[in-house]
Amino acid sequence: MRTRRIRSTFVMLVLLTLALTPAVPAMSAPADTATQRIPGAEYTSDEPLDILLTNDDGYQNPALNALRQALAGAGHNVTVVAPCEEQSGTGTAQSTNYVRGEPTQDNTITAREVEPDVWAVCGFPGDAVLFGVQHAFDSGRPDLVVSGVNPGHNSGAVTNHSGTVGATVMASELAIPAIATSVEIDPTTRPPSVGSISEASAYTARLIERLQATSDDGALLPEHVTLNVNYPAADEPQGTRVTRTGRTAFVRPRFEATDLCADCYLVLPHLNTDRDPVRRSDNNALADDYISVTPLDGDWTASDRDRYRLRLRLARLE
């Protein structure tokens, strides 16, 4: 059942992303992963959405403001509910300092509306989304949660640790459609090159328009499915690929002993620019200068085959 659902979601996303970006020569990518423009096709939707906009870099981050302007410019109603400070790398963390007995300051988070439709929540990105859903929308739940733009791609294994993606995982748990948008950083250049935040913001607005125009039953995305968008650092992206989450991480901590103290270890970045072993992966799409759109559903369950084999191995275990 899960395999059938994944395949149907993948097919749906390939169809909805057709014509998002200009066509490219047929030999540049497999036909089932690269988008093509349909001559004469028109995709329009003038229905404004109530969007909760968040990130993991803080409510004052310029990249968030660029995305806010793009979404508002497309006619949507945007409410910012974002961390009050940097929360990069916090993944799916959420506050668990629950009240036990008499409430104290230790059982609280702080949140305030710093200006109309802009909330600063002193917690994790997931906290910001949950708080926003509970307190920031008088008319009910938002139609869509958008997280970003993150300066630095959240693809491959990095996805698991991303606060930008973590915010959309919370939305997925609440059955609210969500999109995480990040731009690639290329560490092989000096200085490192970063994808265009303004172009990634505009692309996100176009993606939402396409989702609206192709949602025959009114649902932007299948229930509990979110999109992880990574925009390449290339000057001219080759198109859009619907991808899988890769296995490699472009950066991972390396711990190195130091004389700062007896038990101290420096946290150094270990870079990896190797080709990802996963076919049709987000990492490889970025390496080929494509925009990567990966559908996620928050389910880390292994495949049916792996679970079947494990059942055989654990038979009669008590």
CATH classification at residue 54 = 3.40.1210.10
Does a structural domain hold residue 300?
Answer: yes
Closest by CA position to 148, among listed 158, 162, 160, 137: 162
Output the tens digit of pLDDT for each of the chain's 318 residues.
444 444 445 445 544 544 454 433 333 344 344 444 333 344 456 689 999 999 999 999 999 999 999 999 999 999 999 999 999 999 999 999 999 989 998 999 999 999 999 999 999 999 999 999 999 998 789 999 999 999 999 999 999 999 999 999 999 999 999 999 999 999 888 898 999 999 999 999 999 999 999 987 688 999 999 999 999 999 999 999 999 999 999 999 999 999 999 999 999 999 999 999 999 999 999 999 999 999 999 999 999 999 999 999 999 999
Annotated binding site: 56-57, 88, 150
For residue 228, being part of any structural domain is answered with yes
User: For residue 55, with 0-12 CB atoms within 10 Å meaning exposed, 13-18 middle and 19 or more buried, which class applies?
Assistant: buried
In this structure, the dihedral spanned by the alpha carbons of residues 306, 312, 316 and 318, taken in order and rounded to 10 degrees, is -20
Query: Of 106, 105, 207, 92, which Cα lies nearest the Cα of 159?
Result: 92
Q: Is residue 262 part of a domain?
A: no
Query: Per the annotation, where are the binding residues for a divalent metal cation?
Result: 56-57, 88, 150
The domain in which residue 10 lies consists of 2-248+277-313
| Residue 1 in tokens | 């059942």
Q: Is residue 284 part of a domain?
A: yes
- The reply to whether 272 falls in a domain is no
- Domain-embedded: residue 264: no
The DSSP code for 158 is G
Q: pTM of the entire structure?
A: 0.86
C-alpha 162/C-alpha 126 separation (Å) is: 11
Determine, yes or no, domain membership for 254. no
What phi, psi does 79 have (nearest 5°)? -120, 120
Strands (E) located in 24-133:
50-54, 77-83, 111-115, 118-121
Number of domains in the chain: 1
Q: Is residue 220, in this structure, part of any structural domain at all?
A: yes
